Every structure is written in C-alpha cells, then in structure tokens.
C-alpha cells in the first residue's frame, strides 16, 4: 500500500506539471496569435513613430514609450476567434475528458454497478448503482481502497497486458457479508499501452439469501409435516395389526391422531395464509377500518379462549374512532395471533392486556399513528432471540411450542400483514419481566359520516 501511495503521489505531481506546461504554452500561443493578427497595424505605427522622430517633432524616448504602450494595448485586447481556436486545441485534464466520453454515458446507463478505471487502477468514473454498493467511492481513489480481494486486484493489474475480460468472484466479511462477481475488461484496441479498464459488478448476496431462505423453508416445512405424519402412520399401522381388536387402544390412539391431524391442518392453513400475503404484499389495502371495531371483535373472540386457559384478558379501546387504511380480517388476524401467543406462552393463570394509544405527529403535514400493544406477564424472552422472532418456523423453545400447538408461523404472518399495511411491529421483552408486542399503523382520514364509517368497518 505504501508503494501504491508513492505511485499515486508521483502520478499527481506529473499531472500538475503537465497542466502547468499546457497553461504556459497556451498563454504564449495566445500572445503570438494576437501579435500576428495585428502585425501590419504595428508596422504602420512603427513607421509613423520613426517619421516623427526623423522630422524632429518627437523625441526618441517618447516615441519608444508610445510604441510600447500601443503594443501592450494590442496584447491586452481580447481576441475571441483566437481564444476559441486555442480553447478547442487545448487538451483538458484526463478526468474531465473521460467523464464526457461515450463510454461514461454507457456505464451510466447500465443497471448493474459499473466503474471505469485508469490503466493504473484509479477510479475515473462510476454510475449510481456502484455508488449505492460502495458509499465511499470517489473519483481519483485507487480501487484497492474499496476492494481488497487479492484475486480482484490481480485481475485489474493484469487487464492492460492480457487484453481480455476476466471474471472473478470474491467474498467480503466486513462491514457486512457479501458475495460479488466482478468482470474486469480492458477497453480500446489490443496492443495499446494505456487502456482504461471497465469493472462490472454483480452482487449475489440477496440472491444467496433468498435461496437460503427457500431451502430453510422447505426443510422446516417438511420437518414440521413429517412428525405428525409419522405419528399418524404409526397409529394406523398399530390399529390395523396388533391393536385391531383392542378397544382400549383405539380409544387412546384416536384422540392423539385427531390432534396430529389438527396440527397439520393448522400448519397448512398458516402456509396458505402466508402465501396469500406474499402474493398481495405489493398491493396496499384501500378500505377504511376503525381499529376500535377490530379490538371489540378480538375481545369477543378471544375471551372464551382466555377463560379456558384460566387467564384474564383486558382490552382497552381508543377514545375516538381510530381510522386506518387496512383489511379488517387481516388486522383481526394480527391481534388474534399476538394474543394467542401471549395466552400460550404467558404465565399460567396470568393476565394479558391490550393497550391502545394514539401517537400524534410532530409535523403538521403528516398524520399520527395508532399503537396497539399486547402485554403479558409471562417468563419473557432473552435479547438474543428478539431479532429472529418473526422468521418462519423460528421458536424460542421448540418442544414447548409444539406441545402447545404452535406452528412457528404466527409472527411471520403478523410481519407480512403489517408490511402490506405499511405498519411496524416492535418487540420488547426481558426474562422474568413479560413481553410487549406493539403494532403501529398510520392514521388515515376520518370517515366523513357515520354511514361511510359503518361501510368501512364491514
């Protein structure tokens, strides 16, 4: 890196010296052109001055001073034609020339990150996707300050000599894990000593992440289905063979088989629900919904479940109509999933509380938000689990979740519904201090009259 820095300093000094020589040469050319364009006028003035000196009407010193002043005036006068010709013939700096080149326009139009390098590896030009990939990308910096992968730097160094495009794949660990394919191609005709280098980049990170998620999803879904299917198959084989005539075995096995079948039904229903949400994720809902109506329906639906679990459920409503753009059934599903989780994993004989708050906007040009919090007094969740709770099939305690009928998809469904509603889910929890799941939705225009509000709530 030290040798590279010294090389960069030498290149910078050489460029400055070259520019200084060009400026001096340009000035000399301009003066010569002005004198030549006024040559005959200067000769006439010189003859007149000499004649006046010869006739004795003008002293030699005054004549010389007058002639010198005239020549200086000629040199100071602007000469537009000459200046334009000289400007056209003056070589601009390499960076400006490259930025205005057709290749720069091509790179700017590319959808993938593209960087134009000088033969020595300095950044000459880059497009917007490249700037998005490397926030510290600057013209004039060496590419090694951004990408330090040895295989990539070797390809850049060899590009001017090899005369062919080379593709390399490198991985980065910091600041974030990333896998990138770089195509390094020299520009210009083969055999030219100073050829710029085009670097095209393709970031595989997002594609790798999606493929990994797909693989994990298939593995988890098949695992979740395999367990109840294996149980059902075992019970059926037992009932068909050794316990064929055993009435007690049938009475014992049939409830377990029904439970496993219900578990598979819940899992399939959750997967179908998740699939529908993903299909409509890009289409925000357009109906007006009063969150008080959703809270009231959730209370009526969930109070019997809470009573069966020997737990209390308290539901708070908004003081005024809380109108949002949304899908009533999906918002109800959000509350049901959150409350059912609180009832399953909360403290036995404990309580679950739903709080409703309006958060006013600090800006008069934007609307406020509605926050609905589901609070339990259960054992709480450790901090390391919180970021992953909304992942599909992620469970804090796998055995406990399966025993209580959990599918591992409830919070994933909540996240997808809120994404479609342009809302947010905030999770706060500490061990032995309970958990709080807060849903935040943007406030919408209140309904114009009771009839419209009633229609929106249906």
For the ranges 7-16, 134-143, 228-237, 305-314, the lowest mean pLDDT is seen at 7-16
Q: What is the per-residue pLDDT across 191-250, written as a single tens digit (0 to 9) for each? A: 566 778 899 998 887 777 777 767 766 766 776 677 778 878 888 888 888 777 788 888
Q: What is the CA radius of gyration of the chain?
A: 39
- Report pLDDT for 290: 93
**pLDDT band (50, 70, 90) for residue 451:** very low
More confident residue, 271 or 141: 141
**pLDDT band (50, 70, 90) for residue 355:** very high
pLDDT at 255 over 70: yes
**pLDDT band (50, 70, 90) for residue 28:** confident
- Report pLDDT for 292: 94
Quick one: which of 79, 77, 80, 53 has its CA closest to 64?
53
- Report pLDDT for 400: 63
- Report pLDDT for 43: 66
- Report pLDDT for 375: 92
Q: Which of 71-85, 175-189, 315-329 has the highest mean pLDDT?
A: 315-329
Q: What is the per-residue pLDDT across 101-139, written as a single tens digit (0 to 9) for each? A: 677 888 888 888 999 998 888 999 999 988 888 888 888
Q: What is the per-residue pLDDT across 143-175, written as a single tens digit (0 to 9) for each? A: 888 888 888 888 888 887 777 888 888 887 766
Asked if residue 390 lies in contact with residue 425, where contact means CB atoms within 8 angstroms, the answer is: yes
Q: How far is CA 188 from CA 121, 152, 167, in A?
A: 16, 21, 18
In the chain, CATH 1.10.287.130 covers: 208-275
For the ranges 305-309, 343-347, 362-366, the lowest mean pLDDT is seen at 362-366
Asked if residue 218 lies in contact with residue 200, where contact means CB atoms within 8 angstroms, the answer is: no
345 phi, psi to nearest 5 deg: -105, 5
**pLDDT band (50, 70, 90) for residue 45:** low
Parallel/antiparallel/unpaired status of strands 312-315 and 351-359? parallel
Cα separation, 362 vs 375, in Å, equals: 26
Pick left, alpha or beta for residue 3 (phi over 0 → left; psi -120 to 50 → alpha; otherwise beta): alpha
Cα separation, 109 vs 125, in Å, equals: 13
- Report pLDDT for 40: 67
Q: 288-457: what fold?
A: Heat Shock Protein 90 (3.30.565)
Cα separation, 318 vs 328, in Å, equals: 16
- Report pLDDT for 12: 67
Q: Which CATH architecture has domain 95-203?
A: 2-Layer Sandwich (3.30)
Q: Which CATH architecture has domain 208-275?
A: Orthogonal Bundle (1.10)
**pLDDT band (50, 70, 90) for residue 88:** very low
In the chain, CATH 3.30.565.10 covers: 288-457
More confident residue, 394 or 442: 442
In the chain, CATH 3.30.450.20 covers: 95-203
H helix count then E strand count, the chain:
15, 12
pLDDT at 446 over 60: no
Q: How many residues does the chain have?
A: 458
**pLDDT band (50, 70, 90) for residue 81:** very low
Q: How far is CA 414 from CA 93, 134, 238, 426, in A?
A: 57, 34, 40, 11
Parallel/antiparallel/unpaired status of strands 197-203 and 178-186? antiparallel
| DSSP codes of every residue in 245-276 | T-HHHHHHHHHHHHHHHHHHHHHHHHHHHHHH
Asked if residue 429 lies in contact with residue 342, where contact means CB atoms within 8 angstroms, the answer is: no
Q: What is the mean pLDDT of the chain?
A: 77
Cα separation, 381 vs 359, in Å, equals: 26
**pLDDT band (50, 70, 90) for residue 95:** very low
Q: How far is CA 116 from CA 58, 95, 272, 316, in A?
A: 67, 11, 48, 61
| Neighbouring-strand partners of residue 353 | 314, 375
Mean pLDDT across 320-344: 90
Alpha helices (H) in 309-390, listed in sequence order = 328-345
Mean pLDDT across 277-302: 85
pLDDT at 456 over 70: no
pLDDT at 428 over 50: yes
């Amino acid at each position: 890196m030290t040798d590279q820095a010294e090389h960069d300093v030498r290149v910078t000094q050489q460029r400055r010296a070259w520019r200084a020589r060009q400026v001096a040469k340009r000035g000399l050319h301009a003066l010569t052109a002005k004198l030549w364009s006024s040559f005959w006028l200067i000769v006439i003035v010189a003859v007149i001055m000499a004649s006046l000196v010869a006739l004795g009407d003008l002293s030699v010193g005054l004549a010389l001073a007058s002639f010198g002043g005239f020549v200086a005036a000629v040199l100071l006068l602007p000469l537009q034609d000459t200046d334009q010709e000289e400007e056209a013939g003056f070589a601009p700096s390499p960076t400006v020339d490259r930025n205005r080149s057709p290749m720069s326009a091509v790179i700017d139009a590319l959808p993938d990150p593209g960087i134009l390098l000088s033969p020595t590896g300095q950044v000459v030009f880059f497009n917007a996707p490249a700037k998005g990939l490397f926030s510290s990308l600057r013209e004039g910096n060496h590419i090694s300050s951004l990408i330090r992968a040895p295989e990539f730097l070797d390809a850049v160094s060899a590009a001017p000599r090899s005369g062919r495009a080379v593709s390399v794949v490198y991985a980065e660990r910091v600041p974030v894990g990333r896998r990138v394919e770089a195509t390094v191609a020299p520009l210009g005709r083969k055999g030219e000593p100073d050829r710029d280098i085009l670097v095209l980049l393709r970031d595989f990170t997002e594609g790798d992440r999606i493929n990994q998620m797909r693989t994990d999803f298939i593995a988890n879904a098949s695992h979740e289905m395999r367990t109840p299917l294996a149980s059902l198959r075992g019970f059926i084989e037992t009932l068909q063979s050794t316990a064929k005539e055993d009435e007690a075995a049938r009475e014992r096995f049939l409830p377990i088989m029904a439970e496993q079948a219900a578990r598979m039904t819940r899992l399939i229903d959750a997967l179908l629900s998740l699939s529908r949400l993903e299909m409509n994720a890009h289409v925000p809902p357009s109906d007006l919904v009063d969150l008080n109506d959703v809270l009231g329906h959730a209370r009526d639906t969930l109070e019997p479940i809470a009573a069966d679990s020997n737990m209390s459920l308290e539901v708070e409503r908004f003081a005024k109509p809380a109108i949002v753009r949304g899908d009533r059934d999906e918002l109800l599903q959000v509350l049901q999933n959150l409350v059912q989780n609180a009832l399953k994993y909360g403290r036995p004989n404990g309580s679950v509380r739903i709080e409703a708050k309006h958060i006013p906007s600090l800006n008069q040009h934007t609307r406020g938000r509605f926050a609905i919090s589901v609070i339990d007094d259960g054992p709480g969740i450790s901090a390391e689990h919180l970021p992953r709770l909304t992942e599909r099939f992620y469970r804090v305690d796998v055995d406990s979740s399966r025993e209580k009928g959990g599918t591992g998809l409830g919070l994933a469904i909540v996240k997808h519904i809120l994404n479609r509603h342009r809302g947010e889910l905030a999770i706060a929890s500490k061990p032995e201090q309970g958990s709080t799941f807060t849903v935040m939705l943007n406030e919408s225009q209140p309904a114009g009259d009771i009839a419209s509000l009633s229609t929106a709530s249906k």
